[in-house]
């Protein structure tokens, strides 16, 4: 049964699509890979707010509410301080602002590693309080039991292998992975373990291209590359990086615009007009009542 979403258009600044629209589902995303069809690569971007979701939704297959919001939105030094409550608040906003894309919410550091039971408690909160379709967690073989536990209980899971930002302290930094045979073997084993445990997809981040291609060919679930290979089954980027909101971005990011300069220039124009009293003008002022 389809559901029609309605908003008060008189009070909402940003109106989502008023007509009913069927969301992409986990099985539909998986079919892009395991049915062997020749399909366009899957498109995924991060989203953290309702308005951002509205703008990205028509162009994406999946929206990821990434724990990168810690750095992008909150100015934190890493993803580690991000809390479950933060992820839930932003996840709910993205779900409210989207109608087409599959919404996936990152599980933050410390919310799932202790045990499968802890992971279920955290993931069930995310699913129930946001309306998202799936969660994502980092780790390969070490998380296989947890992925299987969640999947068996109706919680779709996307894995994440290679460069895993939540483990940055153990990895020794954000450098690319797979530079030697031991790292290559671990990344492949991690990806296979995630797939065999029941994940519906896996992000491959910051790895040597040959490894990403090999893993994509080896597993029967969609692979989503970020700093990996164009031969992955899809791609993801942090939206703010892609838009040019920051001066420094990882090597694997292509800056498609320079939104930071646009915002700065616009704010400068506004500030100048305020200081010279040319804003507000007649068009922005309510005239006195004429008796």
How do residues 21-71 score in pLDDT, each as one tens digit?
689 999 999 998 876 554 689 999 999 999 999 999 999 999 999 999 999
| pLDDT at res. 179 | 80
Q: Are 243 and 257 in contact (CB under 8 A)?
A: yes
| pLDDT at res. 242 | 96
Q: Which residues are catalytic?
A: 205
Annotated binding site for Mg(2+): 67, 106, 138
- Between 14-23, 78-87, 164-173, 227-236, the lowest mean confidence (pLDDT) is in 14-23
Q: Are 225 and 235 in contact (CB under 8 A)?
A: yes
Q: Which domains does the chain have, with CATH numbers?
A: 26-257 (3.20.20.60)
Annotated binding site: 67-68, 106, 136, 138
Q: How many CA atoms lie within 13 A of 112 on its CB side?
A: 29
Q: Give the length of the chain.
A: 291
Q: Are 195 and 157 in contact (CB under 8 A)?
A: no
Other Cβ atoms closer than 10 A to 21: 16
The whole-angstrom separation of Cα 43 and Cα 235 is 6
Annotated binding site for 3-methyl-2-oxobutanoate: 67-68, 106, 136
| pLDDT at res. 250 | 82
Q: Are 187 and 162 in contact (CB under 8 A)?
A: yes
pLDDT at 279 over 70: yes
pLDDT at 265 over 60: yes
pTM for this prediction: 0.90
- Between 6-20, 99-113, 123-137, the lowest mean confidence (pLDDT) is in 6-20
Reported as a single tens digit per residue, the pLDDT across 238-263 is 999 999 999 888 888 999 999 999 99
Reported as a single tens digit per residue, the pLDDT across 145-197 is 999 999 999 999 999 999 888 876 666 555 676 688 999 999 999 999 999 99
The whole-angstrom separation of Cα 138 and Cα 238 is 16
């Amino acid at each position: 049964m389809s559901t029609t979403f309605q908003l008060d258009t008189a009070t909402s600044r940003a109106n989502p699509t008023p007509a009913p629209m069927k969301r992409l589902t986990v099985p539909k995303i998986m079919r892009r890979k395991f049915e062997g069809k020749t399909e366009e690569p899957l498109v995924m971007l991060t989203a953290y707010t309702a308005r951002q979701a509205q703008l990205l939704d028509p162009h994406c297959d999946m929206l990821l509410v990434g724990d990168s919001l810690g750095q992008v939105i909150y100015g934190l030094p890493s993803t580690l301080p991000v809390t479950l409550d933060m992820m839930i608040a932003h996840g709910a906003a993205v779900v409210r602002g989207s109608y087409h894309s599959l919404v996936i919410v990152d599980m933050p550091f410390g919310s799932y590693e202790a045990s499968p039971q802890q992971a279920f408690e955290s993931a069930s909160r995310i699913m129930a309080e946001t309306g998202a379709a799936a969660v994502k967690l980092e780790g390969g073989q070490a998380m296989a039991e947890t992925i299987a536990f969640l999947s068996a209980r109706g919680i779709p899971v996307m894995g994440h292998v290679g460069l895993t930002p939540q483990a940055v302290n153990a990895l020794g930094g954000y450098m690319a992975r797979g530079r030697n045979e031991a790292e290559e073997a671990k990344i492949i084993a991690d990806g296979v373990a995630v797939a065999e445990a029941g994940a519906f997809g896996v992000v491959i981040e910051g790895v040597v291209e040959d490894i990403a291609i090999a893993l994509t060919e080896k597993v029967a679930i969609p692979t989503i590359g970020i700093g990996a290979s164009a031969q992955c089954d899809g791609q993801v980027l942090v939206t703010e990086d892609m838009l040019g909101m920051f001066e420094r971005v990882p090597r694997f990011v292509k800056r498609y615009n320079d939104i930071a300069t646009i915002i700065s220039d616009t704010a400068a124009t506004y500030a100048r007009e305020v200081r010279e009293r040319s804003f507000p003008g007649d068009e922005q002022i309510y005239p006195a009542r004429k008796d």
